[in-house]
């Protein structure tokens, strides 16, 4: 039986296994594998914790984003209200300005009309006085009649 190669291989294999046990290799392998398993477990726990933190940060981001959208909408609404108020105020000021200009133009027109009427009255007065003067000198009218005609002419011009 010792002559067979298979026997020597079996003896060598058993001795190899005994050496491994003597030098506590299985325990070291187990320790290495346990350490590796613990490291993987720790990494998984860290990954879980990081994932939860990321989800919390994402939820906070969504919350802040919604708040920012609400704030932006409120700002836009306020800006629209302010713009409408400015528009109303501008319209009112424009209407007031147009009304003042219209009044000024009406006053200028009345003054121009009054000036024109006065100018016409003066011209008519001068023409009447000249005509009366010529008529008096040509017809030899008495001064009392002349005064009466003058007063009548002045009354008519005042009308």
Domain extent, residue 97, equals: 5-158
What are 102-144's pLDDT values in tens digits?
999 999 999 999 999 888 888 887 887 777 677 766 666 666 6
Q: What is the DSSP code (8-state) at residue 23?
A: T
* Cβ atoms of 141 and 135 closer than 8 Å: yes
% of the chain residues with pLDDT over 90 = 57
Kindly indicate the confidence band of residue 31, based on its pLDDT and cuts at 50, 70 and 90: very high
Total tally of structural domains belonging to the chain = 1
Q: What CA–CA distance (Å, rounded) separates 62 from 69?
A: 10
Predicted confidence at residue 69, as pLDDT, reads: 96
The pLDDT of 34-56, averaged and rounded, is: 97
User: Residue 138 to residues 4, 44, 108, 130: CA-CA distances in angstroms?
Assistant: 184, 137, 44, 12
140: left (phi over 0), alpha (psi -120 to 50) or beta: left
pLDDT of residue 112: 94
pTM of the model: 0.43
Tell me the average pLDDT across 87-115: 95
User: pLDDT digits over 61-72, tens only?
Assistant: 999 999 999 999
**Averaged pLDDT, 11-27:** 88
Indicate if the pLDDT at residue 78 is higher than 80: yes
């Amino acid at each position: 039986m010792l002559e067979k190669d298979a026997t020597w291989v079996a003896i060598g294999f058993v001795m190899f296994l005994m050496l491994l046990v003597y030098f506590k290799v299985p325990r070291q392998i187990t320790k290495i594998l346990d350490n590796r398993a613990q490291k993987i477990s720790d990494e998984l726990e860290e990954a879980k914790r990081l994932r939860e933190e990321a989800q919390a940060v994402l939820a906070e981001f969504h919350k802040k984003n919604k708040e920012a959208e609400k704030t932006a909408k409120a700002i836009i609404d306020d800006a629209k209200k302010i713009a409408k108020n400015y528009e109303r105020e501008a319209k009112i000021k424009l209407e007031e300005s147009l009304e003042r200009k219209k009044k000024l133009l009406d006053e200028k027109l009345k003054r121009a009309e009054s000036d024109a009427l006065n100018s016409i009255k003066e011209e008519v007065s001068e023409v009447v006085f000249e005509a009366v003067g010529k008529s008096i000198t040509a017809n030899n009218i008495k001064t009392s009649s002349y005064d009466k005609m003058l007063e009548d002419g002045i009354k008519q011009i005042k009308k």
